[in-house]
């Protein structure tokens, strides 16, 4: 009879080693341990639940791919917090690229918006003139 180990009782370091050896349950235990902290940090930076949820998911996707890079120079929670902050900063920068810069309203029809201006997209002609 095989006894199932309670992964929640293991240290972060042991869960990391097990995760790196392909034990998905160990990675899931790390996610469960830190999901609330990651979400709270992301919510604080992003300012709304939807973006915080998206950023949190992105953090754990990045974590899965870069877990082997954790060197132990800081605590795992500090390293994960830094990853969360960096992910949120990247998302905010990306969002700013698509924010409204100058929304032009057609004087004849106030409901018509110049979408190139709204989406911060220039026409091919404008791109060619920039060269």
Report the chain (131 residues): mean pLDDT per 10 consecutive residues. 69 94 94 97 94 96 94 93 95 75 48 47 56 55
Residue 73 lies in a domain: yes
> Per the structure, how many domains does the chain have?
1
- Please answer whether residues 46 and 91 qualify as being in contact, where contact means their C-beta atoms are separated by less than 8 angstroms: yes
Tokens of 36: 């609330």
Q: What is the CATH number of the domain that holds 93?
A: 1.10.1740.10
Q: What is the pLDDT of residue 129?
A: 59
Q: What is the pLDDT of residue 117?
A: 45
Its sign, for the CA torsion 46, 48, 51, 56, is positive
Q: What is the pLDDT of residue 99?
A: 59
pTM above 0.95, yes or no: no
């Amino acid at each position: 009879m095989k006894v199932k180990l309670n992964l929640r009782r293991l240290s972060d370091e042991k869960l990391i080693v097990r995760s790196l050896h392909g034990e998905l349950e160990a990675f899931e235990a790390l996610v469960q341990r830190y999901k609330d902290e990651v979400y709270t940090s992301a919510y604080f930076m992003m300012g709304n639940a939807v973006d915080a949820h998206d950023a949190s998911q992105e953090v754990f996707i990045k974590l899965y791919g870069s877990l082997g890079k954790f060197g132990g120079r800081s605590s795992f929670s500090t390293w994960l917090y830094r990853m969360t902050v960096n992910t949120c900063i990247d998302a905010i920068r990306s969002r700013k690229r698509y924010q409204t810069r100058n929304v032009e309203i057609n004087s004849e029809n106030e409901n018509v918006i110049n979408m190139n201006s709204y989406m911060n997209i220039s026409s091919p002609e404008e791109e060619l003139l920039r060269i």
